[in-house]
Amino acid sequence: MAKLGKDLDRSATHLLHRAGQCAAEMFSSETRTGGLTPRQLAVLMVIGEKEGLNQTELVDRTGIDRSTMADLVARLTRRGLVQRRRTKEDARAYAIKLSQQGARLLREARPGAAAADQRLIGCLPAAKRQDFLDALDLIVTSANKPRR
C-alpha cells in the first residue's frame, strides 16, 4: 500500500476507518463461514450469551445503532439464524433467540473470528497490544458517554 498523504497519516478518523477495513478483510478471510459480517457475528454472540433479549437490549450490549440493529435482526431472521417472538412484558417488543442453524453457525464462526483478532493484533509489537486494546476501549467508552 502506498504511503498516505502527510495529513492523512496523522488523521485518527481516517486511520481508524482504514484499520476497520483491514479488520473486516481479515475477518472475512479467516471466518469463511456463512457470509457473516463482524456486526452480525457480534449480534449472534450476544444473543448466544443471553437469549430472549429484545432489540433495545441488543443495541445497549453491542453499541450498534437502533436502525442498523433492526436491519441486522431482520436479515438474521430471514436467513433463519435467529427467531423472534413477542415478549410477555411488552407486546410491542420481540425476544430474540438463536435458531439451531444460528447456534451452529456461531460455533463454526468463533474460531475464525478469534484467528482474525489474533492476526490483527499480531500486526503490533507484543508490548503494545494491550495498550492498543485499552486505547480502543477508552475511545468507545468515552464516545458513548452522554454529552452535557
Supply 145's cell numbers. Answer: 458517554
Distance separating alpha carbons of residues 142 and 61, to the nearest angstrom: 16
Cell numbers at residue 116, please? Answer: 482474525
pLDDT tens-digit map of 55-83: 999 999 999 999 999 999 999 999 999 99
Among 55, 49, 92, 93, residue whose Cα is nearest residue 71: 55
Question: How many angstroms separate the first and last alpha carbons of the chain?
Answer: 41
Q: How confident is the model at residue 148 (pLDDT cuts 50, 70, 90)?
A: low
Domain borders along the chain are: 32-112
The yes-or-no verdict on residue 113 having pLDDT over 60 is yes
Cell of 78: 430471514
- Residue type at 91 in one-letter notation: A
User: Which residue in 81, 89, 90 sits closest to 47, CA to CA?
Assistant: 81
Whole-model pTM? Answer: 0.84
pLDDT in tens, 7-52: 778 899 999 999 999 999 999 999 886 789 999 999 999 999 998 9
Closest Cα to residue 110, out of 34, 17, 58?
A: 34
| In CATH, 32-112 is 1.10.3720.10 | no
